[in-house]
A and B are shown apart, each in its own frame.
Chain A
Amino acid sequence: MRRITASWIRDLVAQLCLKANFTLRGDVITQLKSAYIREKGKRTKDILAAIMDNSAIARRENLAICQDTGMPCVFIEIGQEVIIKGDLKKAVNKGIEDGYKKGCLRSSVVRDPLLRGKPVYGPAVIHIDIVRGDKLKIIVLPKGFGCENKSRLRMFNPTIEINAIKEFIIETVKMAGPEACPPYIIGVGIGGTADYATFLAKKALLKKIANSPLRKLSNPIKKLEQELMAEINKLNIGPMGLGGKSTVIGVNIETYPTHIAGLPVAVNISCHALRSATGII
């Protein structure tokens, strides 16, 4: 067994909060750059240039990429040979507080969802998984709520055609329209149960985004991702919703076995500022 002290976890979470909020993911920057090249309109190009300038300023000056530094979502994979000395969840939430305070990140969480009150830093939404090995992996995903508010879940019949699922996903993006800060990255969860599908949709945002030529893909899920991307990009929502070919710069799908009687599909939209950072102890 390998011992990991809770204070190491606290320190790592704090670092990851800063990294995620100041440094836009490389895969996102790459796709923003190709969107800039693809677009022809001056205003569309200007908006994409502003988004890229913004990420450069944020990185250079340790400023939050977006003032909505999100509800912190923390994904933890604990190796089954790990023993944690101390309180894991407390360490994560203390780490969030340390990181957010240090980075002047925004307190955007209210302790009571109905009574609201003064915003604080946490707690984070924590997802814990037990895996093989003796390592502990932590991913921090600060999720802004402009886009989180556009999430949807539908429980389809098991006999449904894939086209109806595609339509649901496309409709979700249409409903988000200009409000959730396009160009978007779309996370889709297919299968499991209602709760698990929504979890998968969020988890899908952690995967690298890519734009691969359709003909080269043999994996049906990868193919579906690219087909969705092509179809959504015909909607002409574009950056800031003011038109263009870049409504989405990534579609990621996660799947899981499901019940014979159903087919849950969940969609979690991310704004262009898809922020996450990973660390391993």
Chain B
Amino acid sequence: MKRINTLLIEKQLGGLKAGDEVLLSGIVYTARDQAHKRLAEAIKKRSSLPIDLKGAFIYYCGPTATPRGKVIGSCGPTTSFRMDEFTPVLLKVGLRGMIGKGRRSKEVCRQIKKYKAVYFLTYAGCGALLSKYVVKAEPIAYKELGPEAVYKLEVKDFPLIVGVDSQGRSVYD
């Protein structure tokens, strides 16, 4: 199976096609509904962002609390289309990769193509299994949102399927 890295994604992006299975290593940031709303508002107001979105990967995930002795708790993907209204703004400032579950809007697919980004699916409803691919986790922004805070995750060989490739093609079409 193809291995990709968040740092090398610029070079690897062109070779990824909707439906390809890959293993991702590198840094991803969790963000779901409320974090997206805040990030999009901050971008519109031109205020500073708590994370650098240039070249960044966002994982639509709100993990459980971390059990003692573990890196992270259960941490599967949440439904991606709820983020659709915020995604174009984030792509515009450099968001490069997204991980979630389910379909994206036509508009998001167009924007993914425009900004040469990529959307991945991962095993939905498998949060316990996916926690095994996270080697480091720390909340870094919007901590007051609890599970909706932004966590910086270091992942190793995190299993993904290309959902929408950089040509805007969707695995669901």
Contact = CB atoms under 8 A, between A and B. Distances in A.
Interface string A201-234: 0000000000000000000000000000000000
Nearest to B127: A67
Given A179-B103, A241-B172, A242-B161, A67 B124 contact: no
Nearest to B132: A57
B101 A68 contact: no
A47 B160 CA distance: 11
B161 to A, nearest CB: 7
B171 to A, nearest CB: 7
B123 A106 contact: no
Contacts of A67: 61-64, 73-76, 127, 147
Interface string B58-81: 000111111100100111101101
A61 B128 contact: yes
Interface string B34-72: 100000000000000000000000000111111100100
Interface in B90-113: 101-103
Contact of A64 (B73, B146, B171): B73
A108 interface: yes
A231 to B, nearest CB: 21
Given A104-B64, A107-B146, A178-B102, A51 B74 contact: no
Given A146-B78, A178-B103, A242-B171, A106 B126 contact: no
Contacts of B74: 58, 63-67, 69, 106
A69 B73 CA distance: 12
A43 B125 contact: no
Contact of B146 (A47, A119, A177, A179): A119
Contacts of B147: 67, 106-108, 119
Contacts of B28: none
Contacts of B161: 43, 240, 242
Interface in A45-93: 47, 50-51, 53-55, 57-58, 61-69
B157 interface: no
B123 A43 contact: no
A56 to B, nearest CB: 9
Contact of B101 (A57, A64, A69, A178): A178
Contacts of B78: 68, 146
Contacts of B146: 107, 118-119
B101 A104 contact: no
Interface residues of A, number: 39
Interface residues of B, number: 40
Contacts, number: 128
B29 to A, nearest CB: 16
A7 to B, nearest CB: 25
B125 A272 contact: yes
Interface in A127-157: 146, 149
Decide if the interface of chain A is mainly helix, strand, loop or mixed: loop
B154 interface: no
B17 to A, nearest CB: 14
B165 interface: no
Given A67-B73, A104-B73, A118-B146, A177 B102 contact: yes
A106 B63 contact: yes
B129 interface: yes
A259 interface: no
Contact of A104 (B67, B132, B159, B171): B67
Contact of A53 (B34, B67, B129): B129
A105 B52 CA distance: 30
B76, B78, B124, B146: which has the most chain A beta carbons within 10 Å? B124
A273 interface: yes
A225 to B, nearest CB: 23
Contacts of B125: 51, 54, 65-66, 181, 271-273
Interface of B: 21, 34, 61-67, 70, 73-76, 78-79, 81, 101-103, 121, 123-132, 144-148, 159, 161, 171-172
7 contacts: A57-B128, A104-B66, A119-B145, A177-B102, A240-B123, A241-B172, A273-B125
Rank and list the top 8 A-B pairs by shortest CB-CB distance, nearest first: A179-B102, A64-B74, A54-B126, A54-B129, A104-B65, A67-B127, A58-B128, A63-B128
